[in-house]
C-alpha cells in the first residue's frame, strides 16, 4: 500500500498518517516502510524506551495481526530546520473490539534527506469512551 510518499521533513502530518496506516495495514514488508521514512540508525525513544530499526519493524507484526481500524488525528506540527515536533492521537480498534487511544507528543531530528534520524516521544493513554446512557424518553 504505497500511498503518496511524504517524508517527515516534507510534510509531517502526511508522514504521521501514512506511516501508521502502512505499518498497520500495508502490504509491503515492514522493513521497506521503516526504511522509507527513517534512517538505518533511527533511534525512537518512546517514554524513555528505546526502539531501533529492528524493534520498529517488529512492532508492525502484532499491529497487522490485531488492529482492525486505526485513525490518526494530528492536532499540531512544527518544523524548524532539522527539527520537527507534533502533537497527535492514534486511535486503534483491536480485533477483540477494544479501542485504544493514545495521545503522543513527538520531537524529532531529521537527516539531510528528510527522513527521521531520532525521535523522542511522550505518550499518554486516553480514557476509554464511556457508553452513552440510554435516553430517558419517558419524559421524567
The whole-number pLDDT of residue 137 equals 54
Tell me the per-residue pLDDT of 12-67, one tens digit each, with 9 for 90 and over.
Answer: 999 999 999 999 999 999 999 999 999 999 999 999 999 999 999 999 889 999 99
CA-CA distance, 131 to 52, in Å (whole number)? 38
Q: Which three cell numbers stand for residue 32?
A: 521497506
Sign of CA dihedral 45, 51, 56, 58: negative
CA-CA distance, 115 to 97, in Å (whole number)? 34
Q: Which three cell numbers stand for residue 106?
A: 513527538
User: Distance from first CA to last CA of the chain, Å, rounded?
Assistant: 53
Instruction: With a cut of 80, say whether residue 97 has pLDDT above it.
Output: yes
The whole-number pLDDT of residue 3 equals 46
pTM (2 d.p.)? 0.85
**16 near 24, Cβ under 8 Å?**
no
- Residue 76, classed as helix, strand or coil, is strand
Mean pLDDT of the chain: 91
Instruction: With a cut of 70, say whether residue 131 has pLDDT above it.
Output: no
Q: Give every CB contact of residue 48 below 8 A, 6+ residues apart in sequence.
A: none
DSSP labels, 97-117: S-EEEEEEEEEEEE-TTS-EE
Q: Which three cell numbers stand for residue 54?
A: 529492528
Name the phi and psi angles at 111, rounded to 5.
Answer: -80, 165
Amino acid at each position: 500500500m504505497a500511498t503518496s510518499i511524504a517524508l517527515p521533513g516534507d510534510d509531517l502530518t502526511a508522514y504521521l498518517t501514512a506511516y501508521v496506516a502502512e505499518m498497520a495495514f500495508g502490504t509491503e514488508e515492514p522493513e521497506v516502510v521503516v526504511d522509507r521514512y527513517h534512517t538505518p540508525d533511527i533511534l525512537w525513544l518512546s517514554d524513555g524506551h528505546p526502539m531501533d530499526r529492528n524493534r520498529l519493524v517488529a512492532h508492525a507484526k502484532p499491529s497487522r495481526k490485531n488492529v482492525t481500524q486505526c485513525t490518526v488525528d494530528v492536532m499540531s506540527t512544527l518544523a524548524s530546520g532539522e527539527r520537527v515536533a507534533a502533537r497527535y492521537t492514534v486511535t486503534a480498534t483491536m480485533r477483540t473490539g477494544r479501542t485504544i487511544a493514545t495521545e503522543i507528543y513527538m520531537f524529532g531530528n531529521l537527516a539531510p534527506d528528510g527522513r527521521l534520524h531520532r525521535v523522542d516521544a511522550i505518550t499518554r493513554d486516553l480514557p476509554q469512551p464511556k457508553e452513552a446512557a440510554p435516553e430517558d424518553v419517558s419524559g421524567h
